[in-house]
Structures are given as C-alpha cells and as structure tokens.
Structure 1
Amino acid sequence: ASSRSVYGEGAYVCPSCGLDPVYPDSRSLEALAAHRWEYECPACVQELAPRPTREDDRVRPASIYAATKYAQEDLVQIACKALGIGYVIFRFQNVYGEGQSLNNPYTGILSIFSTRVRRGLILPLFEDGKESRDFVHVEDVAEAVTLGVSAK
C-alpha cells in the first residue's frame, strides 16, 4: 500500500512523448496565476497524466509529517534487520468504512463532505475540479494486513 504523503504527488507519464516516470515539482506561481493546474511534461510541455504508484517508485515526502513517517519506516527496517525480526510496512490513505464517525473532522474528507451536505453547504471544487483521491475500504485494509503479517 502507499500514501500520497510519502510519495508526494506521485509519478506521472506523458501520453504525448511517453516519458515515464515524471516526478513534477510544485507548480510555479506563474502556472497557477495562468490557471494551468495540470503538470506539464519537461520534455514536450504537454499535459502529464497521473499513473498508479508502484512499489519501487521514488519516495518523495511532501511535508514534515511525511518525512517523519518515512523516517519511522527506516527505523523499523533498521531495527528489525538488526534483530532478525520480520516486518511489513503499510501505507494507507483515506480508509473508510463501517463504524467511521462522520462527525469527527479528524476522520477525513468523508466527515468534511458529509457535514457540508447535511448543513446544505456547497462542496467546494478547487482549481479545475479534476483533483482525485484514492479511498480504500476498511475491510480491504484488514485483508491486506492479514495477508501481509501472515506472509513468509
């Protein structure tokens, strides 16, 4: 499993020239002022397309929070290897499912959206409205953890 905070915005591919992977930096103020929301290929300047994150993709922590999470993974790996203990690292983002509180803002975007809908407020769209997030059901997370910890 992977998360956006550790991988940054992830890898992209250029449908025009085939460059893959592309790891774009933050968009420039010039691009934002011109309402160019999508990342552009450094080779041909065409719009990039996001692609699924692969296990061997480069890690690019996008915040202090992400850097500390990644550092914790390194600590687990170092300690477990030194002690001869097996380990599995999971990175889950946007887990949802039964029993989730929709009233607690710390439970994520589903809480925020459902609160706004119940109050009759609009759901804000940012930039061009094409932003996306991956959600994973808690039962799928439970299955992944079960498989991960039972793997030899």
Structure 2
Amino acid sequence: MNQLLSLFLKNWMKPLLIDQEINEISKKVTRSELIALFMLKQRGEATMSQLASDMGLQKSTLTNIRQRLTKRGLIQHYRDANDQRITWISLTADGEEFADRVLETMSRMLQKIKDVLTPDEMEQLIVLLLKVAKVVQTTEQEQKEEHTTFKRIKIEDE
C-alpha cells in the first residue's frame, strides 16, 4: 500500500482525479509543493538545503516553492540563531491540517481500490502501476534531456 501511495505522489494524483476531493486538492497545490509539505510533516522541520536535497531540487527552485507555501500560510521559515546563512522551514498549523486532510483523502481513495481487489490483484496492480510509472518517468526524463542538450560549435582562431 505504501508503494502505491508513493507512486501517486511521484506521478501526482492524475489517476485519482476522478475523485472530487482530490481534484480540488490538485487545484490548490502543485506536486512539488505537496511533496514538500509531506516531507516537512515527516521531519517536523528541515533546512532549505536538507529539503532541496531530499526532493532532488536546486535550492533556488525550493525557494520559489517556499515562497508560495509561505504566502498561503502553510509553512513558516526562520534563520538559524547560530548561523544566519541557514534557513529552517516547518509547517504552520494550517499546513499541518492541510497535509493531514490530503493524506486522509488519498488513504480513503486507496482504500476504495483495495476493497474491490483481492490481495493478488492488488499486488498485480502495484507491479503494473510501478511499471507504467517507470515508463512515464523515463519518457519525461528523455524529454528533459532533449531540451537541455548542448550543441558544440567549433570556433576557429584567426
């Protein structure tokens, strides 16, 4: 079941958008914002560097996410008392409540799926979804690489 939850987080909740609650959640936060909220929920608090590393993002990208979530009142940030270069981030009470509500909604949806499948079918579903996710992830990575390739230009000295 944890594998299935992880799969939906990694590929956002596209397969679950048939559920109205999840559709509403997807309009409020991006996938990256939601992952940041869940990671902060698990950790309690984290430095910008820790969270960026955990999410596989550049610190500048996380700064944008932090700004958006702070603006919505879901997280708070403050400077380290001993080292002003370090910024700590944690969930606000509203952020904690939002993360809990999203997890409950996703758990209910996943439970509905689990209720209609036998244990063998559930295992097959997880294997198949992981296989599909791998293909989708590979395709997305290939597309990113196509856009970030550099062309070497030969420069001749006169």
TM-score by length of 1: 0.28
Question: Could you say which structure has the larger radius of gyration?
Answer: 2
TM-score by length of 2: 0.27
Structure with a larger share of its residues in helix: 2
